[in-house]
Amino acid sequence: MRASSVGALIGIVLAAGVSVHSAQNPSGGRPALATEADFRRAMKELSNWGRWGDDDELGAANLITSAKRKQALALAKDGLPISMAHDVAQEKAADAANILERMVVNVSATGATDRYQYTGTYHGVIHSHLDAVDCHIMSEGKGYNGRSMEDIKAAGGCPKGNINALKDGVVTRGVLFDATRLPGKATSQGWLEPGTAIHREDLEALEKIEHVKVSPGDVILLYTGRWKRRAALGPWPNANGFAGYHADVAYFIKERGVSFIGTDGPNDVSPTGFPQTVGLPLHQLALVAMGVSIFDNLDFERAAEQAKRLNRYEFLFMAAPLRIDKGMGSPLNPLAIF
97 pLDDT more than 60: yes
Q: What CATH number is given to the structural domain containing 155? A: 3.50.30.50
pLDDT of residue 15: 42
Q: Is residue 149 part of a domain?
A: yes
Q: What is the pLDDT of residues 281-290, one digit of tens each?
A: 999 999 999 9
Q: What rounded mean pLDDT belongs to the chain?
A: 93
For residue 97, is it within any domain?
A: no
Closest of 184, 185, 267, 288 to residue 219, by C-alpha: 267
Q: 270, 264, 285, 166: which is closest to 221 by C-alpha?
A: 264
Q: What is the pLDDT of residues 204-220, one digit of tens each?
A: 999 999 999 999 999 99
Q: Which is more confidently placed, 307 or 16?
A: 307
In a domain, 104, yes or no: no
pLDDT above 50 for 26: no
Q: Which of 305, 330, 316, 325 is nearest to 73 (CA)?
A: 316
For residues 45 and 29, the model is more confident at 45
For residues 65-88, average pLDDT: 99
Residue 172: which pLDDT band, with cuts at 50, 70 and 90?
very high
DSSP 275-304: -TTS-SHHHIIIIIII--EEEES---HHHH
pLDDT-based confidence at 270, cuts 50/70/90?
Answer: very high
Mean local confidence (pLDDT), 115-123? 95
Residue 333 in any domain: the answer is yes
Where residue 5 falls among pLDDT bands split at 50, 70, 90? very low
Q: Mean pLDDT throughout 49-66?
A: 98
The verdict on residue 103 lying in a domain is: no
Residue 120 falls within a domain, yes or no? no
Specify the pLDDT at position 18.
38
Q: Is residue 100 part of a domain?
A: no
d(Cα 124, Cα 25) in Å, to the nearest integer? 27
For residue 124, is pLDDT > 80?
yes
Confidence band, pLDDT 50/70/90 cuts, at residue 29 = low
- The pLDDT value recorded for residue 220 is 99
pLDDT at 31: 87
For 53-76, what is the mean pLDDT?
98
Q: Does residue 111 belong to any structural domain of this protein?
A: no
Q: Report helix, strand or coil for 239.
A: helix
- Print the domain residue range for 149: 3-89+127-337
When divided into structural domains, the chain yields a total of: 1
Axis-axis angle for helices 249-256, 200-210 (nearest 10):
60
28 pLDDT band, cuts 50/70/90, is low
Q: What is the pLDDT of residue 156?
A: 96
Work out the average pLDDT over 224-234.
99
Question: Order of strands across the sheet with 170-178?
Answer: 81-83, 335-337, 314-319, 170-178, 219-223, 260-263, 293-296, 129-131, 329-331
User: For residues 107 and 157, what is the distance between their CA atoms, to the nearest angstrom?
Assistant: 36
Q: What average pLDDT does range 153-161 have in this prediction?
A: 96
| Of residues 115, 116, 119, 114, the one with CA closest to residue 99 | 119
CB atoms within 10 A of CB 29: 5
Q: How many helices (H) and strands (E) does the chain have?
A: 9, 13
